[in-house]
Amino acid sequence: MQTHEIRERFTNHFVRSGHEAVPSASLILDDPNLLFVNAGMVPFKPYFLGQETPPFANGTATSIQKCVRTLDIDEVGITTRHNTFFQMAGNFSFGQYFKEGAITHAWTLLTGSLAEGGLGLDPERLWVTVYLDDDEAAEIWEKKIGVPAERIQRLGMEDNYWHMGVPGPCGPCSEIYFDRGPAYGKEGGPAVDDNRYMEIWNLVFMEKERGEGTAKGEFEILGDLPKKNIDTGMGVERVACLLQGVENVYETDLLRPVIDTAEKLTGATYGKDNTADIRFRVIADHSRTGMMLILDGVTPGNEGRGYILRRLLRRIIRSARLLGATAETMQQFMNTIMDTMTPSYPEIAENRERILNVATNEEKAFLRTLESGTQLFEQAASSVKQSGSTTVAGDQAFALHDTYGFPIDLTLEMAAESGLEVDIEGFESLMAEQKARAKADNQAKKHGHADLSVYRQWVDEHPTEFLGYEALSSQSKVLGLVRNGESINEAHAGEEVEVILDHTPMYAESGGQLGDRGQLVSGDTLLNINDVQKIGKKLWIHKATVASGGLDLGSEVTVNVDGKWRHGARQAHTATHLIHAALRQVLGPTAVQAGSLNRPGYLRFDFNFTEGLSPAQMEQIELITNQAVDTDWAVNTIETSLEEARKMGAMALFGENYGDSVRVVEIGGPFSMELCGGTHVTHSSQIGPVTLLSEASVGSGVRRIEAYSGMDSFQFLSREAALASGLASSLKTPTVDLPERVRQLTDKLKAAEREIENLHKAQLAANTSKLLDQGVEINGFTVLTIQLPKGTSAGDLRTVATDLRGRLGEREGIVVLAAEDGQGKAPFIIGATKSAIARGVKSGDLVKLLGGYVDGRGGGKPDMAQGSGSKPEGFNAGFEALKSELAQL
């Protein structure tokens, strides 16, 4: 049975029993505790916590949620049951049925006949576990389902008490296992061998809320959830493994084709060697996870989600190389996994080119890293051999890995080829320190769930009616006042307060557009509204300062949007749509929005693209945008279903979850059509001029354009014109000739600087021969310790040191130069001749010694090393220490 059929049978089973089918949410949700959605229940968390009322008619739902867990990336492939990406099929009850219902639904699907829509598993091979003191669940399994008591096992907190690892819902659970037979391990059930007995379904009886904690069981139970809920998760990949009769999840219809592709590209064979098999499994697993992350809008970067994606893609490349691949492989891997996953995720097809571009560009960048890393390793290996050692130091291996992105696996491999070892303990120690710092930093950035229970009554009973598409003012009623997280009955002058109204003309921040600014008036009472935010997409929170008077609960008020603010915000937001459309005309369909910010007169637009834009491209994008403004297209909004909007060709944003009813903003017919809830001008000409200010990278594969619109654009252009006019007047040249005049002046300046630099070098060379006379003999060495005049730069020190060392020729010479650079720093450099190095001199060691006397540090190679300090008065003492060191060598 193919995986997509398992998904279909699961969904149909629960829809027939009254559950509402809910599409998978994006892997990226706005949750401060999660980089990615890591469990099927995550999109339903507000309902479990009682923050929002479930929008499902029967209070039940079913979904097959995309999930990613990356806590132990380095362990992937070592076991054969775990993936970083997996599909969690689940059914959910929000206060409807509880333990008996959940157990019955699961058992019926698993053991039901194929003809009746079940999965056809043998009930005699199913085992279950329950929490230690969960007598109720145990009795249901035995008395109502008929599972023999000997196949029901009780396990503790670590195994059968579910939570997300962060504050939130929790409760005891019951897990269903399939006995794979004696060939897979010992008898005795999952308590004895969880390899033979494979877990396929976890039924969570969610009834409590947990607080802060760091490990399983080490957290406080805050109390009961508002209702007893059900959250279950069936591992689609594991069930596919059983129904397809394969050994592990890597050999199912979704992942085995990637392994086959890897065999063709590398010449290696899967199934013959455990080390090689792990690498095959890494390629298969990470190809799918990487593809799904890119699909949902993640691009490679150096932090957060982007860093995880980069690690995954680079582990694919590294594993393929270690298996024998010599050419680029990413395109073939991505094409293969997209072919296997498209039946379940049709949206892959329309994003195929973009996914390939992101993945293959990362491969090209990493291959360049490998090339430069190889050169750095060869330098390190040469230095090790020259010193007489056979071990590459742990800190060198760590620097290659951490600073240059060179994998430790390749360092070990190349070291072995060079007859060297690597101080792996030192490397692992530094890695452990880095992980500890990262973990502490990550923990510091986490925030517990904000307590939104104070807003619950209004979310459920009085969701805000938004009037702002048609009006800038309204007569409204104050339904709620909140201060410092608590509901209050009145607010007084000078206080900061959150105001909840029955309806409002004020736009709440979303879709990149900032919330409106404005005023709330009632008689002598005036509140300045500084921001508007949403709770649960239903409730508008007006954040305000009471400027005068006081405000009581139930008051009738007039709400006025700042018209100038709204006009500027609408101009910027509509300009963003035009720029997006112009970008796609110039750069192609792979340039898609990755984020935006719109405020009056200004916008920034992030988009997925791997190369910087040329001046000509920027000029073309700006021209197309302003032509769209000049055309005076009508800006139309269409309320329709999500399905119809997609048929119309409307673009949706990655990471956004849309309801069944959506709002399409259409400008110029096919020119621009996007799903958007923001406010816009009614005709494109109302935007006014649009000026592109800059374009730059904000992460790997993500670029950002900044622009002005409306009067801000006009004022910017006016200032630019005045600046050009003033410059033209100063240079006594027509404005149109300014570029050529500036080029001429720049060329003259560069020529003068080169002449000055040549004179300076000549002066340094003339003085070098005099400095050579200051050498003294110490223990057979010719030693020069010289402090050059104040103002000598570090670059000058290197020039003189290199010249002096060359003049020492075959002598055992050491050159030590220092200076004050005139900018608060005290640079120094040490060079040694080949014969001095042969006697054991290492410039890097001597630099460290000297640095200790001037409150500085430095490093380098045996022949040349340099550093910088902050206390030049210590140079003389440092020189004497160096001489003493050399005298004892």
End residue of a domain, out of 409, 426, 445: 445
Same domain, 266 and 397: yes
* Binding residue positions for Zn(2+): 573, 577, 676, 680
**Look-up of token digits 């409307």:** 650
Q: What is the pLDDT of residues 824-861, one digit of tens each?
A: 889 999 999 999 999 999 999 999 999 999 999 888 88
Same domain, 69 and 114: yes
CATH number at residue 68: 3.30.930.10
Residue 219 pLDDT: 83
Per-residue CA distances from 328 to 159, 362, 563 (Å) = 43, 11, 56
Residue from 587, 167, 186 nearest 357 by CA: 587
Position 748 in a domain: no
End residue of a domain, out of 401, 421, 445: 445
Q: What is the DSSP string of 626-639?
A: HHHHHHT-BEEEEE
With H, G, I as helix, E, B as strand and everything else as coil, classify residue 453. Answer: helix
Q: Which residue has the higher pLDDT, 377 or 515?
A: 515
**Look-up of token digits 């689940």:** 90
Same domain, 649 and 627: yes
Instruction: Quote the CA–CA distance of 312 and 288 in Å, as a whole number.
Output: 10
- Domain residues for 233? 3-247
**Look-up of token digits 């199912």:** 252
At 42, the amino acid letter reads: V
Same domain, 431 and 379: yes
Same domain, 469 and 397: no
Dig out the tokens for 282 from the structure: 């890494």
Position 729 in a domain: no
Task: Answer whether 538's CB lies under 8 Å from 463's CB.
Answer: yes
CATH number at residue 877: 3.10.310.40
Residue 173 pLDDT: 95
Q: What is the pLDDT of residues 787-818, one digit of tens each?
A: 988 888 888 888 889 989 998 999 999 999 99
HSE, CB side, 13 Å, CA atoms: give it for residue 754: 6
Q: How many domains does the chain have?
A: 5
CATH number at residue 457: 2.40.30.130
Determine the average pLDDT of the residues in 344-355: 91
Same domain, 238 and 157: yes
Instruction: Quote the CA–CA distance of 542 and 498 in Å, as a whole number.
Output: 5
Same domain, 115 and 19: yes
Dig out the tokens for 47 from the structure: 């309902």
Position 575 in a domain: no
Q: Which pairing describes strands 391-392 and 421-422: parallel, antiparallel, or unpaired? A: parallel
* Residue 336: alpha-carbon gap to chain centroid: 25
pLDDT above 50 (res 446): no
CATH number at residue 708: 3.30.980.10
Task: Answer whether 827's CB lies under 8 Å from 856's CB.
Answer: no
Q: Which string of b and e fits 785-801 if b means at least 16 CB within 10 Å? A: bbbbeeebbbebbbbbb
Residue 10 pLDDT: 97
Q: What is the pLDDT of residues 546-579, one digit of tens each?
A: 999 999 999 999 999 999 999 999 999 999 999 9
Same domain, 791 and 853: yes
Which residues fall within 8 angstroms of residue 158, CB to CB, at 6 or more apart?
216, 217
**Look-up of token digits 């893609």:** 313
Task: Answer whether 72's CB lies under 8 Å from 30's CB.
Answer: no
At 177, the amino acid letter reads: Y
Say what percent of the chain tops pLDDT 70. 95
Quote the crossing angle between the two packed helices 615-631 and 563-587, to the nearest 10°. 130
Q: Which string of b and e fits 201-235 if b means at least 16 CB within 10 Å? A: bbbbbbbbbbeeeeeeeebeeeeebebbbbbbbbb
At 754, the amino acid letter reads: R
At 851, the amino acid letter reads: G
Position 51 in a domain: yes
Same domain, 290 and 243: no
Q: Which sign, positive or negative, has the C-alpha torsion 40, 43, 46, 47? A: negative
Residue 55 pLDDT: 85
H/E stretch holding 21 reads strand 20-22
Residue 537 pLDDT: 79
* Binding residue positions: 573, 577, 676, 680
| Among 223-237, 281-295, 602-616, the range of highest mean pLDDT | 281-295
Determine the average pLDDT of the residues in 742-764: 84
Determine the average pLDDT of the residues in 589-595: 83
Helical spans, DSSP H, in 76-173:
99-111, 135-139, 157-160
Dig out the tokens for 311 from the structure: 């690690």
Residue from 827, 888, 882, 834 nearest 861 by CA: 834
Residue from 627, 763, 751 nearest 689 by CA: 627
Residue 518 pLDDT: 96
Position 779 in a domain: yes
Q: Which three-class secondary structure string do you get for 539-594?
A: EEEEEEEEEECEEECCCEEEEEECHHHHHHHHHHHHHHHHHHHHHHHHHCCCCCEE
Same domain, 464 and 524: yes
Position 52 in a domain: yes
Instruction: Quote the CA–CA distance of 658 and 676 in Å, as a whole number.
Output: 10
End residue of a domain, out of 247, 278, 299: 247
Determine the average pLDDT of the residues in 144-166: 89
**Look-up of token digits 């392994």:** 259
Residue from 284, 285, 280 nearest 269 by CA: 280
With H, G, I as helix, E, B as strand and everything else as coil, classify residue 403. Answer: coil
0.85 cut: is pTM over it? Answer: no
Quote the crossing angle between the two packed helices 408-417 and 424-445, to the nearest 10°. 170
Q: What is the pLDDT of residues 635-650, one digit of tens each?
A: 999 999 888 888 888 8
Q: What is the DSSP string of 833-875?
A: -HHHHHTT--HHHHHHHHHTTTT-EEEE-SSEEEEEES-GGGH
Position 731 in a domain: no
Task: Answer whether 665's CB lies under 8 Å from 676's CB.
Answer: yes
Determine the average pLDDT of the residues in 163-173: 81
Same domain, 359 and 390: yes
Position 566 in a domain: no
| Among 481-485, 497-501, 751-755, the range of highest mean pLDDT | 497-501
Same domain, 185 and 232: yes
Residue from 279, 317, 322, 285 nearest 300 by CA: 317
